[in-house]
Amino acid sequence: MTSQRLAGRVALVFGAGSVGPGWGNGKASAVAYARAGAKVVCVDVNRTAAEETAGLIAGEGGQALALACDVTRLLEIEDVIARTVGAFGPVDILHNNVGHAKMGGPPDLTEDEWRREMDLNVTGMFLACKVVIPSMQARRRGVITNISSAAGLRYTGYPYTSYYAAKGAVNQFTVGVALQYARDGIRCNAILPGLMDTPLIYQQISVQYGSPDDMVKARHESAPMGRMGTGWDVANAAVFLASDEAAYITAVCLPVDGGLTARCA
């Protein structure tokens, strides 16, 4: 373990697994929380993926619990919270990482596909907050970090209208929660990753290019810094926002994008 600035805290990470080999944002954040001293509950719709992340934490001497959950189902989230409290205690850090990008504009998507995108990207965060916030209010402390996207601020060149809409909603959901509960000692922020090199892009983005290699080359070239970011860039920001060093930071939608959203062209 490399730091103890989150020692004694319980971090609940929804979307803590990875959809493929490597380090996704949620997987890296879960491990980073543990390295900072937190007890981490790793939740994913894929139990095997959650167990892999929890195993990495345990292998480094940390404490972790792996659970499976569909974040669009309230009863499953309630069960996760109950198991978390039973194993480690109340949630101090809620990290909402689940998201999905479905290509297509309004004529291309079915109504069910549109609703599914809203549910995966926004409703899951609402349900998690619905269950966790009352306990944070009672204890007058807590941190909520929602993973949004640069697509919530800018058109990024990909034809995924539902994703733009959903991530824009995440940003304003974050601001609303932050300001409504600021006097209850709860801080809520969003992290907006830009062009990141994570396992997710090979499943959901690569179809827009001739090959995965073409995608990687193009995304590196499109980034102002000449390279994509990684899951660890998101993880480091998440640990900071959860720490006492960020005690006066709330309602912030923080781009972690190498300057992407600041660029006009």
Give catalytic residue positions. 163
Residue 189's contacts (CB-CB under 8 Å, 6 or more residues apart) are 144, 145, 146, 174, 178, 241, 246, 249, 250, 251, 252, 253, 254
> For 80-118, b where at least 16 C-beta lie within 10 A, e where not — what string?
bbeebeeebebbbbbbbbbbbbbbbeeeebeeeebebbb
Half-sphere CA count of 125, side-chain side, radius 13 A: 28
- Secondary structure (DSSP) of 9-61: -EEEEET-S-SSSS--HHHHHHHHHHHTT-EEEEEESSHHHHHHHHHHHHHTT
Between CA 174 and CA 181, with CA 175 as vertex, the angle to 5 degrees is 90
